Amino acid sequence: MRLKLVPETTNIDFFGYAKATFGASVIAVILSLVAWLMLGLNFGIDFRGGTTIRTESVQAVDIGAYREAIDPLGLGDVTITEVFDPTFGPEKNVAMIRIQAQDDQESVAADTIAKVEETLQQVDPSITFPSVESVGPKVSGELIQTALIAVGASLAAILFYIWLRFEWQFSVGAVAALFHDVILTIGVFSVLQIRFDLATIAALLTIIGYSINDTVVIFDRLRENLIKYRKRDLREVMNLSVNETLSRTLMTSGTTLLALIALLVLGGDVIRGFVFAITWGVIVGTYSSVYVAKNVVLYLGVNREDKPTDKGNQFANIDA
């Protein structure tokens, strides 16, 4: 027996309210941009600068106790992570403490570092501080810019491939869906003031990959059906294509969300922002694959006169 989240055959009219769903998406993007401009983002250490303190101790690292001791100092964004290395002996327990810059300075003042060290020594008298390093936002900005250029070039190549593989209307729809997903995610981070750091950038890139994959799967079935049903109205063919891939879409998104929700609840504070971004991205990415990318194709129309007369290709036979 196979698990089925939807009936074998569905006939949901996804595009019955195309104008309303597309209009809602446009309004959501505009509101997200307004929130971004008005409220800004709660940048983490990667963007604001700060100081990294490396600790070593004989006792096991207790991240909860470290955080409980540092929080009363009111230092803002503090990230504490334990460092694991197979070369470390049982008496060498290492942690990295990252503290955001205070008063718009690139690094934390020496007296603040001294207070942190003194506070941690009260928690663990054996603790030592072998290194203290400053993290400047300028260096992080250059790394982010280089990464975005590289990913942007890859994304442009993917979109160019979609243009060649399908038609230019499909490529425009895919770009609109990706733009929708990224802007809505940034908008949520702005409204909720969730910490925005390099991990969030990685989450945004993951969202782009997930969304484009889901979009291409439905595009491929749509192209096959445009050849099969040359006499049908474009809206009907698009509804048919989404219904045929609905089981696959819900199964993929559902199982992904199960893992993400578990990480969101049990993963701890260090990865919560990253996991939240991907969780939100999976939801809006699934939505945009139908109600943004396909709506754009519906409005732009597709030239069906030059379609071949065969029944499709082996790549379009998706087991939905």
Q: Note whether residue 175 is domain-resident.
A: yes
- How far are the Cα atoms of 144, 283, 290 from residue 161, in angstroms, in the given order? 25, 25, 20
3-class DSSP assignment, residue 97: strand
State the residue for tokens 């604001």: 48
Domain membership of residue 64 as a residue range:
50-135
pLDDT of 187: 92
Instruction: Count the alpha carbons within 13 Å of 43 in the hemisphere toward its beta carbon.
Output: 14
* Residues 29 and 68 reside in one and the same domain: no
Gap between the Cα atoms of 158 and 147, Å rounded: 17
Rg (CA), the chain: 25
Backbone torsions φ then ψ of 45, nearest 5 degrees: -60, -35
* Residues 113 and 164 reside in one and the same domain: no
Domain boundary among the residues 117, 135, 153 is at 135
Q: Note whether residue 99 is domain-resident.
A: yes
Q: Note whether residue 307 is domain-resident.
A: yes
* Residues 239 and 203 reside in one and the same domain: yes
* Residues 130 and 151 reside in one and the same domain: no
Q: Note whether residue 7 is domain-resident.
A: no
* Residues 149 and 119 reside in one and the same domain: no
Single-letter amino acid code for the residue at 147: A
pLDDT of 280: 92
* Residues 236 and 152 reside in one and the same domain: yes
Domain boundary among the residues 114, 135, 156 is at 135
pLDDT of 105: 61
pLDDT of 103: 59
Domain boundary among the residues 105, 135, 165 is at 135
* Residues 24 and 145 reside in one and the same domain: yes
The pTM of this model reads: 0.75
The CATH number linked to 205 is 1.20.1640.10
* Residues 156 and 63 reside in one and the same domain: no
| C-beta contacts of 267-270 below 8 A and 24+ residues apart | 270/79, 270/80, 270/81
* Residues 25 and 162 reside in one and the same domain: yes
* Residues 247 and 307 reside in one and the same domain: yes
pLDDT of 311: 46
* Residues 298 and 159 reside in one and the same domain: yes
Instruction: Count the alpha carbons within 13 Å of 289 in the hemisphere toward its beta carbon.
Output: 29
The CATH number linked to 88 is 3.30.70.120
pLDDT of 314: 44
- Number of folded domains in the chain? 2
pLDDT of 28: 92
- The first and second tokens of residue 124, run together, are 């663990």
pLDDT of 184: 92
- Mean pLDDT, the chain cut into blocks of 10 residues (320 residues total): 62 80 90 91 74 84 85 80 72 81 64 83 84 68 69 74 79 86 90 83 84 84 82 83 83 87 79 87 88 84 59 44
* Residues 113 and 85 reside in one and the same domain: yes
Single-letter amino acid code for the residue at 19: K
- Where do runs of H (alpha helix) occur along 132-233? 137-165, 168-192, 198-228
Gap between the Cα atoms of 54 and 97, Å rounded: 6
